[in-house]
Structure 1
Amino acid sequence: MEATLEIRKPSPPPSLARIAEKVREGVRLDEAEAVEVFRSRDLLQLGQLANLIRERLHGDRTYYNKNFHLNLTNVCEASCRFCAFARLEEGMPLAKTFTVEEAVAFVKEQLPNGPTEVHMVNGLHPGLPFEYYEEALRAVKATAPELHIKGFTAVEIHYYAGKYGMSYEEVIKRLVAAGLGSIPGGGAEIFAPRVRKKICKDKANAEEWLEIHRIAHRLGVKTNCTMLYGTVETAEERADHVLQLRALQDETGGFQAFIPLAFHNENSPLQRLPEPTGFDNLLVYAQSRIVLDNIPHLKAYWVQVGEKLAQVAQSFGVNDLDGTVVSEKIYKMAGAVTPNLLSVGDLCHLIREAGRTPVERDTVYNVVGMPL
């Protein structure tokens, strides 16, 4: 009699099995377990757990919005070693600072596409008065009152506070009064001081970044949060970063979405470092979803990981693909080869082909519509 070959599914290691049991029961992982998750390279096991959480929170829904990017200036006196976007001073090749009139004209060009959000982040320009940003916000809001302005990272707010002699709270209140609706998560990078000293030593540190978001949440301003991965950080430092975000969310409840941001090396001082692989990208999504049990949305920014990987990420914890993203420059200047925009039809196709249901949202996750 011919023997039959029995194929058995490999069992997870004991530590991961214990973590899986807690995830299935909806029990929070402690700090040591969070570190274990970020050390693990068991992509399929972690992916299954992340997908379990994703479907527990959102079912088969994947969110997107209609948005575009406007960078008022890329002139920046910071020296972040991973950045290909910034220019140290006016007049340098590719340096650009919009006049308020140019910003308004750019916004008007986008309105026929029906956007609900403009994403507005900028360099740390040493020569602009604070009133320039207020005037730009008021002008954009007057041009398109229905447009939600998400802009001005914690790094920018920290810079304005120091440069113009204001508190963080005063900066945020003045920006909101001029038209700001919410704050993006950029500038977090990795919180570990060792890493920040190597890649972004001359801008807001972790404590300052967290404090600005704490104040914004207290003022009723929703924000996002990010993590830049793939430079010189360790798995333990990634875990520490996510745990600090989790702790602030426990305190304030003001974070809407977490966006892992993959390092792109082209045209940056760190161009000799290899970029994260597709395996790494999916792993970080899954790890983050498992540990961040209190931030509702996990976003795959398709501009930097590519449309196809973002699509696959919907099975590794991701429930948001960002939006149409017209005129993105920060990752494009770092070598991203993704399109300049995706149409709503393109986004819905990516979502449906992954077995999910596309849902159009606004910036604060109100449902705008369910495409046919």
Structure 2
Amino acid sequence: MREIRSLLARAADGGRITPDEALLLYTQAPLHELGQAADAVRRRRFPDGIATYIIDRNINYTNVCVTACKFCAFYRAPKHEEGWVRDVADIVGKCGEAVELGATQIMLQGGHHPEFGIEWYENAFSSIKAAYPQLALHSLGASEVVHIGRTSGLSHEQVIVRLRDAGLDSFAGAGAEILTERPRAAIAPLKEPGHVWLSVMETAHGLGLESTATFMMGTGETNAERIEHMRMIRDVQDRTGGFRSFIPWTYQPENNHLKGRTQATLFEYLRLVAVARLFFDNVAHLQGSWLTTGKEVGQLTLHLGADDLGSVMLEENVVSSAGARHRTNRTELIHLIRSADRIPAQRDTLYNHLVVHRDPADDPVDERVASHYSSTALPLVQAS
């Protein structure tokens, strides 16, 4: 216990901890003391006491995918009767709806369609930017770069440059899932290995496109493999500084081939959030998830090192297809942050504060700015 307390004190003071030390804290540190140390790091990094959220929309351009990940409930194989493609005009229209509701960011994501080459993405991005140049396109991920490269016969660098020149502002952390070799091969055998995902991100960072880093926990990985996932990200961050935030969330087990109960408990998730804040001394932001764990747990992450509660999420289809049913709205998200003794602020993609909600009397009121799921993969599921 003395070793753990000494380690927590060093980490709370900003000292770098090793993967082995992170594993020790993750598995053995008392939750309260672990949370106190993580919160100390958060307070030193963000002494203004502000916690942020963003208004964005996830737009899915197709559910047709050749990768067939076992955890995914959204995709349909090529030529499946439930497969669909959204045309670019419809995508631009959805962007317009999002702008009207105050969105500043679009996450364009979809399946790895076998017929979509670089030209489709260039047309989509340039069309969005022509209509709504103020929107940040924080979209796709390393897996899409690999797929486009194969489809179009381009190198990863060539794909990234052309996406950037067409209007892409930054990459989402999509496709990371878990980067550690054994569990990644088990749940996504057709997806690129973790080291390739990281290589694409490192290349993107070198070309001026920053990104986020994510982690889907609870698909059968060990505790050590969870820490190894974070170690792989931290090593790249040491070289590039291009990851803006780390975003862990929990696997949802409905309507997919992996099935089973979520194997990461809420306490395991909360402990990982705290350890992540201690471990990632080189990543500025840590986002808590309310979509997969619930609003109360999301709020708790603000006491365990998180400084951001993510998005109001005007639309989300992929994770909700697998069972995530939590919803919120801007008013509620502001209340969650404030009641956690933080000052709420709306941010943009770069984490700049757009509006700081210091006075509750001035809080925005618009019932339309609310999260929404309407899984186009599962037409019988209705949003309530």
TM-fit CA distance, 1:344: 2.4
Q: What corresponds to 2:363 in structure 1? A: none
Distance 1:41 1:287 in 2: 10
Q: What corresponds to 1:346 in structure 2? A: 332
Q: What code does the residue aligned with 2:333 have? A: L
Q: Is the 8 A contact 1:154 1:187 kept in 2?
A: yes
TM-fit CA distance, 1:91: 4.3
Q: Is the 8 A contact 2:255 2:321 kept in 1?
A: yes
Q: Is the 8 A contact 2:50 2:307 kept in 1?
A: yes
TM-fit CA distance, 1:111: 2.2
TM-fit CA distance, 1:25: 3.0
- What is the TM-score with the length of structure 2 in the denominator? 0.90
Q: Which moved more, 1:15-24 or 1:359-368?
A: 15-24
State the aligned residue count: 357
Of the candidates 66, 76, 84, which is equivalent to residue 87 of structure 1?
A: 76
Secondary structure of 1:365 counterpart? coil
- What is the TM-score with the length of structure 1 in the denominator? 0.92
Give structure 1 regions of 4+ aligned residues with deviation exceeding 3 angstroms.
Answer: none
Distance 1:129 1:242 in 2: 31
Q: What code does the residue aligned with 2:169 have? A: G
Q: 1:41 to 1:329 in 2, by over 3 A?
A: farther
Q: 1:173 to 1:266 in 2, by over 3 A?
A: same
User: 2:152 matched to 1:164?
Assistant: yes
Q: Is the 8 A contact 1:90 1:96 kept in 2?
A: no
Q: Is the 8 A contact 2:12 2:278 kept in 1?
A: no
Q: What corresponds to 1:361 in structure 2? A: 347
Of the candidates 28, 34, 37, which is equivalent to residue 40 of structure 1?
A: 28
CA deviations on 1:213-258 (whole Å, 9 max, x unpaired) are 1111111111000111111111111111111111111111111000
Distance 1:274 1:311 in 2: 20
Q: 1:276 to 1:32 in 2, by over 3 A?
A: closer
Larger radius of gyration: 1
Q: What corresponds to 1:206 in structure 2? A: 194
User: 2:60 matched to 1:71?
Assistant: yes
Q: Which moved more, 1:232-241 or 1:41-50?
A: 41-50
Pairs within 5 Å for 1:1-372: 13-40=1-28, 42-59=30-47, 60-93=49-82, 95-339=83-327, 342-371=328-357, 372=359
Secondary structure of 1:303 counterpart? coil
TM-fit CA distance, 1:285: 0.7
CA deviations on 1:133-190 (whole Å, 9 max, x unpaired) are 1111111111211000111110110111122111111111111111111001121122
Q: What code does the residue aligned with 2:180 have? A: A
TM-fit CA distance, 1:90: 4.2
Distance 2:126 2:227 in 1: 40
CA deviations on 1:31-88 (whole Å, 9 max, x unpaired) are 3212212333632221111111111111321011111111111211112111111111
Question: Percent identity between the aligned chains?
Answer: 34
Q: Is the 8 A contact 2:273 2:304 kept in 1?
A: yes
Q: 1:276 to 1:31 in 2, by over 3 A?
A: closer
Distance 2:239 2:321 in 1: 37
Distance 1:232 1:41 in 2: 22
